[in-house]
Chains A and B, each alone.
Chain A
């Protein structure tokens, strides 16, 4: 797996011992957000240099999950599983689960992992972030 490029390197990185960090941010007011941006803080409106990059732990718990049986959009083949996760560091985010079928239910602890998937170009392989049940 090492050496396979990340699909969205601006959104997540790989730390020591395989831990995945999300590239979030924090405002001077204390608000923590994902993804990283300098447009402005949703709580207080501070922007630019008042916002600081912050690595967010990939650990969290399931808020909601579902198996998508039929997808209305190109570039993604159903079935796949999706989840809403409350990160231990605060933000609520949504993305894909690593497994398909019988998704972990609300309250279950999950962690971010990188899994190898097809890239945007034919034959290309990349690693993208998913959530899986925490060991």
Chain B
């Protein structure tokens, strides 16, 4: 199997968002156009220069792309919709990377977009004992219990992840939650499931995010500022294997991130910035360990020491993560990459992790599926 690094270099040249927020009546079209126009302006390129669009959306339904993107000019570009649960945006980003890296296109945009539209999954035909009782937050409440029992960690410790991430979100104008929270506020919030409280669970709202990718040829031809182009050095992906049990998200993450780091020829300890799928507090601890930032059961100690803060050893979820930035599903994975790009450019303002050179964006999606992308400043 070939890796991204075996293909020609691909660079992120423009990023944009429509801020994540609670559901409104506004059509999805204006959310998506806002993000793409911002990304085009950021890259300094015009829409006709974009060869292909990969739209990550889990909830909008069939053929949502053209009614939106035609308002940028119906240029006839390749248009594809990609659904991969919470990792829909990450899947769209990978597809866009491969399209450019393979030489099938010179430029591409990955657009993540969703509105709050509940859609039941189609049943597999197999019954379950009480599967309706296990919504996402209860699955992760169980993982919290398992992790706490294994590593002797208290619910108060786990809640510290939310304190950090709400603090980061307070510095992010695109975040759904922009309010710093104390440990007492996090622990005193509404009890949801197990020891998880509402401020330890991500809000699912609406929004959009976009990243424009380009080859070296396109960067030269379009006159893009090479000082702001950030190379994508690895793309790894996988799905759950048999016997992974209740802990599948973490074991899958360990495997996928290890492959991404190997492709990028770095170690977990080399990461300056890490955006993880922290839909629930416990996940950040599990995935920080799975990424190799520390050994199993050690994440809580690093968190308490400030190692995961902006300015620490590795800024984990500097955007605020899913817990504060929000998890509008389709936009989430693309928005993570956009945050890493912003950090590596040194353009993250109040939430800038100084000297950031290399970052990783990680998502899991129901199933489970997992993605990891490494980006590096040249």
CA A91 to CA B144, docked complex, whole Å: 21
Query: Which residue from chain A places its CB closest to the CB of B139 in the assembled complex?
Result: A94
Selected contact of A93 from candidates B126, B129, B135, B137, CB within 8 Å: B129
A residues within 8 A CB of B194?
A: 66-68
Q: Is B127 an interface residue (CB 8 A)?
A: yes
> Given A37-B126, A66-B142 in contact, is the A75-B246 Cβ separation under 8 Å?
no
A residues within 8 A CB of B130?
A: 82, 94-96, 128
Q: Is B313 an interface residue (CB 8 A)?
A: no
Q: Is B146 an interface residue (CB 8 A)?
A: yes
Asked if A106 contacts B127 (CB within 8 A), the reply is: no
Asked if B142 contacts A84 (CB within 8 A), the reply is: yes
B residues within 8 A CB of A69?
A: 191-193
B residues within 8 A CB of A96?
A: 129-130, 133
List 22 contacting pairs A-B, 8 Å CB cutoff, sorted by A: A10-B127, A11-B127, A11-B129, A35-B126, A35-B128, A43-B242, A63-B142, A63-B246, A64-B142, A64-B149, A66-B138, A66-B142, A66-B145, A66-B195, A69-B191, A70-B190, A70-B192, A73-B135, A82-B130, A86-B245, A94-B130, A105-B145
- A59-80 contacts to B, CB under 8 A, are 63-73, 75-76, 80
Q: Is B143 an interface residue (CB 8 A)?
A: yes
Asked if A68 contacts B149 (CB within 8 A), the reply is: no
Asked if B133 contacts A80 (CB within 8 A), the reply is: yes
CA A29 to CA B132, docked complex, whole Å: 31
B residues within 8 A CB of A93?
A: 129
Q: Is B22 an interface residue (CB 8 A)?
A: no
Q: Is A129 an interface residue (CB 8 A)?
A: yes
Nearest Cβ distance between residue A67 and chain B, in whole angstroms? 6
Asked if A71 contacts B135 (CB within 8 A), the reply is: yes
Asked if A68 contacts B193 (CB within 8 A), the reply is: yes
Nearest Cβ distance between residue A100 and chain B, in whole angstroms? 12
Q: Is B170 an interface residue (CB 8 A)?
A: no
Query: Which residue from chain A places its CB closest to the CB of B141 in the assembled complex?
Result: A66
Range for the number of chain B residues in contact with chain A: 20 to 34
- B235-260 contacts to A, CB under 8 A, are 242-243, 245-246
B residues within 8 A CB of A68?
A: 133, 138, 141, 193-194
CA A42 to CA B239, docked complex, whole Å: 13
Nearest Cβ distance between residue A54 and chain B, in whole angstroms? 16
Nearest Cβ distance between residue A16 and chain B, in whole angstroms? 22
CA A68 to CA B231, docked complex, whole Å: 44
> Given A11-B127, A68-B193, A73-B132 in contact, is the A82-B242 Cβ separation under 8 Å?
no
B residues within 8 A CB of A31?
A: 242
B residues within 8 A CB of A8?
A: 127, 129
CA A11 to CA B246, docked complex, whole Å: 20
Query: Which residue from chain A places its CB closest to the CB of B247 in the assembled complex?
Result: A63
Query: Which residue from chain A places its CB closest to the CB of B132 in the assembled complex?
Result: A73
CA A75 to CA B135, docked complex, whole Å: 13
Q: Is A126 an interface residue (CB 8 A)?
A: no
* Interface membership of chain B positions 142-157, coded 1 if the CB is closer than 8 angstroms to chain A and 0 otherwise: 1111100110000000
Query: Which residue from chain A places its CB closest to the CB of B246 in the assembled complex?
Result: A84
- Give the interface centre of A65, A66, A92 by most chain B CB atoms within 10 Å: A66
Nearest Cβ distance between residue B86 and chain A, in whole angstroms? 16
CA A75 to CA B143, docked complex, whole Å: 24
A residues within 8 A CB of B138?
A: 66, 68, 71, 82
- B118-133 contacts to A, CB under 8 A, are 125-130, 132-133
17 more contacts with CB within 8 A, not counting A65-B142, A129-B129, are: A37-B126, A39-B126, A42-B242, A43-B242, A64-B149, A66-B142, A66-B145, A70-B193, A80-B133, A84-B146, A92-B246, A93-B129, A94-B134, A94-B142, A95-B133, A96-B129, A106-B149
Asked if B127 contacts A105 (CB within 8 A), the reply is: no
CA A129 to CA B146, docked complex, whole Å: 23
Nearest Cβ distance between residue A94 and chain B, in whole angstroms? 6
Selected contact of B132 from candidates A35, A43, A76, CB within 8 Å: A76
* Interface membership of chain A positions 24-68, coded 1 if the CB is closer than 8 angstroms to chain B and 0 otherwise: 000000010001010100110000000000000000000111111
